[in-house]
Amino acid sequence: MAEHRDVDAVSGTVTTGHEWDGIKELNTPLPRWWVWLFYATIVWGIGYWIVYPAWPTFTGYTTGLFGYSTRGQVEADLADLKKVRGDKAGTLAAVPLADIAKDPALRTFAIAQGKAAFGDNCAPCHGSGAAGAKGYPNLNDDDWLWGGTLAEIHQTIEFGARSGHKQARDSLMPAFGRDGILKRDEVVAVANHVRALAGLPTRRGVDVDAGRKVYAENCALCHGDSGKGNKELGAPNLTDAIWLYGSDEATIIDVIANSRASVMPAWSGRLDPVTIKSLAIYVHTLGGGN
Amino acid sequence: MSTPWAVATSDGAVPMTKPIKPADLAPVDGPLYAPHKKVYPQSVAGTFRNIKWALMAGCLGIYYLLPFVRWDRGPDAPNQAVLVDFPNSRFYFFFIEIWPQEVYYFTGLLIIAAMVLFLMNAIGGRIWCGYLCPQTVWTDLFYAVERLIEGDRRERMKKDAGEFRLPRALELVAKHTIWLMIAWWTGGAWVLYFADAPTLVKQLATGEAPFVAYVWIAILTFTTYTLAGFMREQVCVYMCPWPRIQAALTDEWALNVTYRHDRGEPRTSVKKAEELRLKGLPAGDCIDCAQCVAVCPTGIDIRNGAQLECIMCGLCIDACDNVMAKVGRPTRLIAYDNEINIHRRQEGKDNVYRLVRPRTVIYAAIIAVVGGVMLYALATRSFLDISVLHDRNPLAVTLSDGSVRNGYTVRLLNKRNTQRSVTLDVAGVSNAMLHVVGTDTVVEGQPLIAVGPDQTAELRVLVTVPPGSKLAKSTSLTFRIADAAESARAQDHFILP
């Protein structure tokens, strides 16, 4: 190569000796330390192979002198998190539910932890924003099937509803139509009466008065004479604007005829007491807590 | 050969464009990589050297001492005039306090800095490089130390080439010790901008400073020592992007350090020039003493014309002026000048200097506009602010009485150093009821919220509209906060299910 080296007449620069179809390459040399830095990066790269996991082998990979792994990093991070949470989690376990709100820092911690636990455990049914869905209550509103005080919410989360747990919230509405307790026209009549209770229009031609009688005989025991419901029994308030399954006539007829009994699992045993406490605090602050 | 003076070159000078014959090619140690040629700049006295000393003293003085300047901001705020407070995410500059969300002021500062650089370039070429760039300032300081200990150019060259004996070793130890001390102080001063300076100095002295402070001092000690002690002009030639950008930004009117070849050529010796002049023949003022080359901190020959390496520090002007004074010729054979004037003088015309031209006017105008906008924004900025975020899920909640509720996360910002109580209300939706979760203090139907000094407060705010309200699916809603002095507002929406 060197024997072809030449001097460019225009710039006075020496060429590299490379030539392509008469085009020559000028040699503007880099400083030598630049090359040394380039070699240094190669050495640095080899150093990386040695101290960090780098090469696959037949059974695994080279682990490197530092023993680094991303999984180990996650475990270390989790251990750190546990340490950070340690004190507060202990306090949260010791302080009675009603007193947590008195300590703003503890309350903030409980809400943050509750929010995370809600996303992991509750969101599949109640939605990530706790807005609920048909058959799954909205936890943001002020209507509570089993009570909306902190203690009541805590109890519902702990033992669930119709979960099979001994202390679960439990009740069962009869399937008035399917079990032959009420006749078809009685069901239609009582459904229209229920709509009237909530201030909703009734279907013309339906004997709402007959429905009121049916209601008094069959429904008032649980839902109350005026339809305000009974939180002890999980009997919904029929006079308000919130309907778990829907307020149209067909849906109400269906509920009366076939009954509905949605289930919420008991979380004691699945979640630790501190998490359940945090969940109760979080749900209570969503906007409707009593 | 398009260079105008190359034709007139006499025997001694090798112009940049003189071709080398292939036979004369020096055997270089690698075809593609050049060994470093060490530069030994000679000391020089003169106008531009004095300007450089003064600017160096000013720049280094500000850099090393500014962290110790105090500025009283009251009991709850740091009293350091210039402080980058990362833990509390605040930046303090005398009477100005910047929050992270006001970082756009820095954008403005960067625009102004760029424009000032461009303006300097349009007026005097790379005077930033020659006088103010930290690389130049610290290199200059390191050269001063080197000269003090090892002597001037010739001595240094002789010593580097000579035998390595004990006195030489002691000299080197002394030089590197002083260099490292300067470098250490450079790093030390740097970290003082990020913490209370007197406290940190005390901690550094007792070895109790945070680990990160030592790390940064070590990093800046290393970079200062390496870049100012060893890399020097190579930073400008090989690393810095500005010479490349500058070449594209400059124009023919910029006053660059220029060898006035119209006056200097043909170069010759003092004696020969006298003889020639007696015979009435042309003789240049350049006596080819190479003093301009000897003093150059980047090791170039300015007589070869404008070069990428030239930082336009003007030291060659000083060197040449001293020689011209000695040989009794007019000074400023090398001067801040341009090719336009060289050609004009060759045609017998007067020099023209055009400092006011579209380029300089536009740069100055941009500086004025951006500076003005920033000053206006700074002078009229609110010390109270509010930002609102509507709940994403659920957007709206129906309550048992049929009313509709929307939830918002509201953040209040108090940029004053005193605690303030502000009232919060909403406008835009009639009958809207406002509830701030956790706040029971209410003044005239409006919740009263306390925000600590120089702090923010985050609130959860619920807005409820009674049943039967005739609203669109989405209605515009304004949150307003106010105290006796100031008010602020933020726009959002009220949404129906």
Sign (positive or negative) of CA dihedral B286, B289, B290, B292? negative
Do A278 and A162 have their domain in common?
A: yes
In B455-487, which positions are buried (b, 16+ CB within 10 angstroms) versus exposed (e)? bebebbbbbbbeeeeeeeeebebebbbebeebe
d(CA A106, CA B468): 40
Which one of B398, B435, B436 makes the best mutation probe of the A interface by having the most chain A beta carbons within 10 Å? B398
Angle of helix A273-284 versus helix A104-121 axis, rounded to 10: 100
Kindly indicate the confidence band of residue B323, based on its pLDDT and cuts at 50, 70 and 90.
very high
Do A198 and A150 have their domain in common?
A: no
Task: Name the more confident of A279 and B74.
Answer: A279
Interface check for B72 against chain A (CB to CB < 8 A): the answer is no
Q: Do A140 and B22 touch (CB under 8 A)?
A: no
Residue B9 has pLDDT above 50, yes or no: no
**Angle formed at CA B273 by CA B267 and CA B279, multiple of 5 degrees:** 130
pLDDT at residue number B436: 87
Q: How do residues B63-81 score in pLDDT, each as one tens digit?
A: 999 999 999 988 878 999 9
Kindly indicate the confidence band of residue B48, based on its pLDDT and cuts at 50, 70 and 90.
very high
DSSP string of chain A, one letter each residue: -GGG--B-TTT-PBEEEEEETTEEEE--PEEHHHHHHHHHHHHHHHHHHHHS---B-SSSB---TT---HHHHHHHHHHHHHHHHHHHHHHHHHS-GGGGGGSHHHHHHHHHHHHHHHHHHTHHHH-TTS--BTTB--SSSS--SS--SHHHHHHHHHH-BSSS-TTSB------TTTTTSS-HHHHHHHHHHHHHHTTPPPPTT--HHHHHHHHHHHTHHHH-TTS--BTTTTBPPSSSS--SS-SSHHHHHHHHHH-----B---BTTB-HHHHHHHHHHHHTTTT--
pLDDT at residue number B201: 95
Q: Based on the structure, what is the number of domains in chain A?
A: 2
Q: At A288, list the tokens.
A: 């409707």
> Running DSSP on this structure, what letter comes out for residue B26?
-
pLDDT at residue number B2: 36
Mean pLDDT of B124-132: 94
Contacts of B30 in chain A (CB under 8 A): 29, 32, 35
Does some domain include residue A140?
yes
Q: How do residues A22-35 score in pLDDT, each as one tens digit?
A: 888 888 778 888 88
> Running DSSP on this structure, what letter comes out for residue B226?
H
Do A132 and A269 have their domain in common?
A: yes
C-alpha distance from B1 to closest chain A C-alpha (Å): 8
Residue A233: which domain range?
A: 184-258
Q: How do residues B129-185 score in pLDDT, each as one tens digit?
A: 999 999 999 999 999 999 999 999 999 999 999 888 899 999 999 999 999 999 999
Q: At B245, list the tokens.
A: 């950008």
Kindly list the distances between the CA atom of residue B485 and the CA atoms of A255, B402, B408, B452, B481, in Å, as whole numbers in the listed order: 59, 39, 25, 16, 11
Q: Which of A128, A142, A240 sits opposite B393 (nearest CB)?
A: A128
* Domains of chain B, CATH where assigned: 37-249 (no CATH), 384-495 (2.60.40.10)
pLDDT at residue number A84: 82
Does some domain include residue A179?
no
Q: In terms of Cα–Cα distance, which of B341, B334, B342, B329 is closest to B314?
A: B334
Does some domain include residue A31?
no
Does some domain include residue A43?
no
Contact yes or no for B261/B15 (Cβ under 8 A): no
C-alpha distance from A246 to closest chain B C-alpha (Å): 13
d(CA B263, CA B335): 12
- Percent of chain A with pLDDT strictly greater than 90: 70
pLDDT at residue number B29: 40
Q: Do A242 and B399 touch (CB under 8 A)?
A: yes
Does some domain include residue A146?
yes
In B403-431, which positions are buried (b, 16+ CB within 10 angstroms) versus exposed (e)? bbbbbbebebbbbbeeebebbbebeebee
Does some domain include residue A224?
yes
Q: How do residues A67-107 score in pLDDT, each as one tens digit?
A: 899 999 999 999 998 888 878 888 888 999 889 888 888 98
Task: Name the more confident of B203 and B28.
Answer: B203
Edge-to-edge, what's the strand order for the sheet holding B82-85? B82-85, B90-93, B96-98
Does some domain include residue A27?
no
pLDDT at residue number B280: 87
Q: In terms of Cα–Cα distance, which of A36, A43, A28 is closest to B231?
A: A36
Mean pLDDT of B323-338: 94
Do A278 and A134 have their domain in common?
A: yes
Residue B344 has pLDDT above 50, yes or no: yes
Does some domain include residue A36?
no
Do A157 and A216 have their domain in common?
A: no
Among A5-19, B32-46, B251-265, B374-388, where is mean pLDDT lowest? A5-19
Q: Which of B234, B393, B401 sits opposite A31 (nearest CB)?
A: B234
CATH number at residue A150: 1.10.760.10
d(CA B317, CA B255): 13
Return the residue matching tokens 């209601």: A215
